[in-house]
Amino acid sequence: MATIFSRIVAGEIPCYKVAEDERFFAFLDINPLAKGHTLVIPKQEVDYLFDLSDADLAAMQVFAKHIALAIGKAFPCRKVGQAVLGLEVPHAHIHLVPMQSEKDMLFSNPKLKLTDQEFQAVAAAIRAEL
């Protein structure tokens, strides 16, 4: 059975899309730690990030870099942090989170509740910086 993230890539489940190319896809995390929290995934269905080939992992990191730079412009912050957990969804993904301090990367923090309009605006703001 396809993962929820594969179903997002296929357009079967809605998302707030930020970017895609032939191999990778970026969309907003639905439970964001901060405005701009984005997930970068491979379209290839692989559970564990570190099971990707060296070439795919390197390409995914470069794709994530461009998204991170755009997030940083759209949502000014000290740096955009990157985290890999993958304990919930068995489809490899990189979290990109705008940070003002290291506490902003704590996944136990309460998540933001954004309206549909706010999510749309966040995604549009990042896309505008790509």
- The footprint of ligand AMP (CB under 6 A) covers 4, 13, 15, 29-31, 39, 85-89, 93
Residue (50 or 55) nearer to ligand AMP, CB: 50
Residue 100, amino acid? Q
Residue (31 or 109) nearer to ligand AMP, CB: 31
- Helix, strand or coil, per DSSP, at residue 65: helix
Taking the C-alpha atoms of residue 68 and residue 73, their distance in angstroms, rounded to an integer, is 9
In the residue annotation, 93 being an active-site residue is answered as: yes
| Shortest distance (Å) from residue 104 CB to ligand AMP | 14
Residue corresponding to tokens 């993958």: 86
DSSP letter assigned to residue 24: E
| Shortest distance (Å) from residue 65 CB to ligand AMP | 19
| Shortest distance (Å) from residue 110 CB to ligand AMP | 13
Nearest of 19, 127, 26, 119 to residue 73 by alpha carbon: 127
Residues taking part in catalysis: 93
